[in-house]
Amino acid sequence: TSGERTAKAERMFELMDGFLKNDPLSLQKDILDHVEYTVARSRFSFDDFEAYQALSHCIRDRLIERWHDTQLHFKRKDPKRVYFLSLEYLMGRSLSNSIINLGIRDQCADALSQLGFEFEVLAEQEGDAALGNGGLARLSACQMDSLATMDFPAWGYGLRYQYGLFRQVILDGFQHEQPDYWLNFGNPWEIERVHVTYPVKFYGTVEEEILNGEKHQVWIPGEMVEAVAYDNPIPGYGTRNTITLRLWAAKPSNQHDMEAYNTGDYIDAVVNRQRAETISSILYPDDRSHQGKELRLKQQYFFVSASLQDIIRRFKDVHKDLNQFPDKVALQLNDTHPALAIPEVMRVLVDEEHLGWNKAFDIICKIFSFTTHTVLAEALEKIPVDLLESLLPRHLQIIYDINSFFMEELKKRIGLDYNRLSRMSIVEEGAVKSIRMANLSIFCSHTVNGVSKLHSELLQTRVFKDFYELWPEKFQYKTNGVTQRRWIVVSNPNLCALISKWLGTESWIRDIDLLMGLREYATDISLHQEWRMVRRVNKMRLAEYIEATSGLKVSLDAMFDVQMKRIHEYKRQLLNILGIIHRYDCIKNMAKDDRRKVVPRVCIIGGKAAPGYEMAKKIIKLCHAVAEKINNDSDVGDLLKLVFIPDYNVSVAELVIPGADLSQHISTAGHEASGTGSMKFLMNGCLLLATADGSTVEIIEEIGEDNMFLFGAKVHDVPTLREKGSTIKVPLQFARVVRMVRDGYFGFQDYFESLCNTVEGNNDYYLLGADFESYLEAQAAADKGFIDQEKWTRMSILSTAGSSRFSSDRTIQDYAEKTWGIEPCRCPL
Ligand code: GL9
């Protein structure tokens, strides 16, 4: 009976619990066993990579123990769970993070050193798991860490892409994309669940059936693939709780093409089977625009359908009555990418569970919450109706039905205002008739969240104004956050130790508000000395990395000034580069004596451009062309260096951020929904040079304008400035530096022409010209600040202290209370 099975399982877990010991000797034994039996090498001779593999398996065993206990505990308690649906996760490396969250970092280092290995060296062997594009995807990863640490009964769902985000290779200063086959050397951090599989269906037709005298729509699919689960345990810090990130891979279904085999078309049938796997093969690298590709839509539905089958199965294991679904399940839509979950749940409830439309829709409106991550209209997903009709005919019907209901509701509220009705409609008429996924998500979710205060204001007053006016109570915001476990403890161990020493506790790693305690010591001279020492060691590590990747030697006395993020016109890397050209030009035109007064800088830029984004690629090339000129100019020497760090990813960020003195977050106001890079720099005591955009507005509230270098037009100035267009007075220096690029001072004159055009006169949509003067002033203030090391160090300490509000722990606490209605469910130790 199932009671006996549970009892047996419990006895097994009791036996297992604490079976794996964490003292250095036990760890050593397990590592060596894995060398011999898992990696299949001699325990007397293995290299760093093999040692990494064995160590990872040894850690994985420990994760699995805790993870079993957690899942059993959740099952027993049966709390309301949150299911986080996201098409992207940027997990980066797992080894250090796992060891730290398990609390066995020192024991592991000891065990290894006795075996003749160094922990840091082994950690470097791991590749990055890059199943995402940028901020949105890293946010999901940070939030998973917080969900586990704060003991929430949560599951993450996503896709197991075989190829993650492309590797960026720079040849002659141009970006080239290479495939990232990250699974090449195996992945010890996932567990394949061969028995957790679900069929996912596509295409076909919808037919009407009469059941108990009532009409029903039935989808007769035309193709079927199998979704296989891969579980990635996510350990919390300072807790036994270890939750699951379940990623789906597509496999051919056994029922797939039976006919083809029978008709003897063997070769074609096998080839067709392989085609099924392409669904989860590649991550789309475009960070914001999606052009209605069929494969992308297939990915979305594949992931949604498998996740929902899994979620409903888990619910039905315990509960009979689907009316209780909203008491036990919260579904979080991370952007519109998983929005097909809405019609899919409707389809299951109405077509399969025969719940009746009204009842089903009632449930829908109680379970979904939606977070939007953009302010850019072009980033709002639209799915061409033709595409949806062929791939998911029943879902299109359901969306139409939802829309008719929505339009009727609307007419009751606003009458026959056809302009507004058509703006708000889920269906967009026009050359390409399409489905507006954001409108669908807003109408069907109980809560719509923005990702910062400013973002939320823009959603309410511009992007979704029509909706806000009718349902103001739906609109909330949860300012993004990042996890201090990854962004201080893992990536900056020396700062971590220093903070714990001064606070007299390590508790801030779980309880981030304690970090504010540093404010008390912001002027303490001995903290200043230790702080500067830690920062210098980090700069050394970064300088070594720069030398290794680019051959360039940089001075540790220079200010390390970093801008690393996806390359986008609105993020204005071009403003940064033009500012560097200006600096260079000034140094060149200075009398030799005056040069002694210049504050030396190492300007560091990094980030990937979407493969089809031409202007972004030109910006990368310009950066290299300018670097070539500056770095080889003996007039300039150590006063100015420019480095492009290739292939920016999570592990590169872990190395660069702790070594930065200054970092730039300089988007045109009103364009960065939140920004999370700034929070990581802030935590690490790096000063910010920034515009009042996205979450920076709240950073200002927290640390004060005096502790950063703020510049540029405010969000409310932007429309006026745009209207003024070419009549704005642009500073002469701006015209001069653009002209230098135009005239071929850095070569590639023809190639850069179109880039120069984007910032001149009426074309200057992102207002580089309008903001240039105030940008230079902020830069000058940063130079001045850097000379006064005492002041700088105080600002740096206050930055770290003020970063506590930007922990993802706070974000998740907010979501749990105000959006999902879930409570912690802590697994006993
Ligand atoms: C983004 C926003 O642009 C960022 O400002 C925000 O911090 C993150 C997380 O909320 O989401 N939206 C978005 O599409 N991306 C973001 O970074 N892009 C990528 O993830 C590439």
Per-residue pLDDT reduced to its tens digit, 566-612: 999 999 999 999 999 999 999 999 999 999 999 999 999 999 999 99
Minimum CA distance residue for ligand 1 atom 19:
134
| 571 among known catalytic residues | yes
Q: Which residues, listed in sequence order, are joined to residue 562 by a DSSP beta bridge? A: 604, 663
**Cβ-proximal residues to 80 (8 Å cutoff; 6+ apart), any chain:** 153, 327, 328, 329, 330, 820, 821, 822, 823
Name the residue among 144, 62, 61, 191 with its Cα closest to residue 332. Answer: 144
* Residue segments in the chain with a per-residue pLDDT below the cut of 50: none
Residue 46 CA, distance from chain mean position: 35
Distance 135 CA to ligand 1 centre (A): 4
Task: For ligand 1, say whether the CB of 374 is within 6 Å of any of its atoms.
Answer: yes
Task: For ligand 1, say whether the CB of 137 is within 6 Å of any of its atoms.
Answer: yes
AA identity, residue 818: K
Task: For ligand 1, say whether the CB of 675 is within 6 Å of any of its atoms.
Answer: yes
The residue from 93, 251, 565, 665 that is catalytic is: 565
Task: For ligand 1, say whether the CB of 337 is within 6 Å of any of its atoms.
Answer: no
Distance 290 CA to ligand 1 centre (A): 14
AA identity, residue 447: T
- The H or E element that residue 622 is part of is helix 614-631
Identify the residue whose tokens are 């070419």: 726
Distance 575 CA to ligand 1 centre (A): 20
Query: CA 295, CA 383: separation in Å to the nearest integer?
Result: 12
The closest-lying atom of ligand 1 relative to the alpha carbon of residue 676 is: 7
| 296 among known catalytic residues | no
The residue from 246, 373, 394, 446 that is catalytic is: 373
Answer yes or no: are the C-beta atoms of 383 and 426 closer than 8 Å: no
Query: CA 207, CA 344: separation in Å to the nearest integer?
Result: 17
**Cβ-proximal residues to 450 (8 Å cutoff; 6+ apart), any chain:** 371, 372, 456, 458, 459, 475, 476, 477, 478, 673
Query: CA 590, CA 395: separation in Å to the nearest integer?
Result: 67
AA identity, residue 693: D
| 359 among known catalytic residues | no
Question: In Å, how far are 141, 561, 610, 697, 717 from 768, measured between CA atoms?
Answer: 33, 19, 22, 20, 14
Question: In Å, how far are 668, 697, 698, 803, 805 from 701, measured between CA atoms?
Answer: 19, 7, 5, 11, 10
The Cα diameter of the chain in Å comes to 95
| 549 among known catalytic residues | no
Enter the ipTM. Answer: 0.98
The closest-lying atom of ligand 1 relative to the alpha carbon of residue 288 is: 14
AA identity, residue 347: R
Tokens of 199: 């069929």
Answer yes or no: are the C-beta atoms of 494 and 800 closer than 8 Å: no
Question: What's the residue count for the chain?
Answer: 829
Answer yes or no: are the C-beta atoms of 140 and 156 closer than 8 Å: yes
SS3 state at 290? coil
**Cβ-proximal residues to 457 (8 Å cutoff; 6+ apart), any chain:** none
Tokens of 95: 């080894």
Name the residue among 798, 672, 634 with its Cα closest to residue 134. Answer: 672
Indicate the burial class of 299 (C-beta count within 10 angstroms; 0-12, 13-18, 19 or more).
buried
The Cβ of residue 404 has, within 10 Å, a number of other Cβ atoms equal to 12
Tokens of 278: 């392409």
Q: What is the pLDDT of residue 1?
A: 61
Distance 673 CA to ligand 1 centre (A): 7
Task: For ligand 1, say whether the CB of 158 is within 6 Å of any of its atoms.
Answer: no
What sections of 428-524 are H helices per DSSP?
Answer: 437-444, 453-458, 465-470, 484, 493-503
Indicate the burial class of 267 (C-beta count within 10 angstroms; 0-12, 13-18, 19 or more).
exposed
| 566 among known catalytic residues | yes
Distance 229 CA to ligand 1 centre (A): 27
The Cβ of residue 504 has, within 10 Å, a number of other Cβ atoms equal to 9
Q: What is the pLDDT of residue 257?
A: 54
Identify the residue whose tokens are 């199965």: 313
Query: CA 586, CA 601: separation in Å to the nearest integer?
Result: 14
Answer yes or no: are the C-beta atoms of 708 and 692 closer than 8 Å: no
Task: For ligand 1, say whether the CB of 566 is within 6 Å of any of its atoms.
Answer: yes
Distance 715 CA to ligand 1 centre (A): 18
Whether the full predicted model's pTM is greater than 0.95, yes or no, is: yes
SS3 state at 497? helix
Tokens of 229: 């689960």
The closest-lying atom of ligand 1 relative to the alpha carbon of residue 672 is: 5
**Cβ-proximal residues to 371 (8 Å cutoff; 6+ apart), any chain:** 332, 333, 334, 335, 448, 449, 450, 451, 478
Task: For ligand 1, say whether the CB of 674 is within 6 Å of any of its atoms.
Answer: yes
Name the residue among 154, 60, 141 with its Cα closest to residue 102. Answer: 60
Task: For ligand 1, say whether the CB of 707 is within 6 Å of any of its atoms.
Answer: no
Name the residue among 516, 541, 562, 826 with its Cα closest to residue 680. Answer: 562
Answer yes or no: are the C-beta atoms of 687 and 792 closer than 8 Å: yes
* Digit-coded pLDDT (tens) for 434-481: 999 999 999 999 999 999 999 999 999 999 999 999 999 999 999 999
Tokens of 799: 């930055």
Task: For ligand 1, say whether the CB of 288 is within 6 Å of any of its atoms.
Answer: yes
What sections of 511-605 are H helices per DSSP?
Answer: 525-550, 573-588, 592-595
Query: CA 375, CA 377: separation in Å to the nearest integer?
Result: 6
The closest-lying atom of ligand 1 relative to the alpha carbon of residue 139 is: 9
| 239 among known catalytic residues | no
Tokens of 583: 């600096």
Query: CA 297, CA 96: separation in Å to the nearest integer?
Result: 35
AA identity, residue 357: W
* Digit-coded pLDDT (tens) for 731-783: 999 999 999 999 999 999 999 999 999 999 999 999 999 999 999 999 999 99
The residue from 571, 582, 617, 810 that is catalytic is: 571
Tokens of 625: 């062309």
Query: CA 73, CA 543: separation in Å to the nearest integer?
Result: 47
Q: What is the pLDDT of residue 15?
A: 57
- The H or E element that residue 273 is part of is helix 266-276
Identify the residue whose tokens are 């003749």: 116
AA identity, residue 297: L
**Cβ-proximal residues to 770 (8 Å cutoff; 6+ apart), any chain:** 713, 721, 728, 730, 764
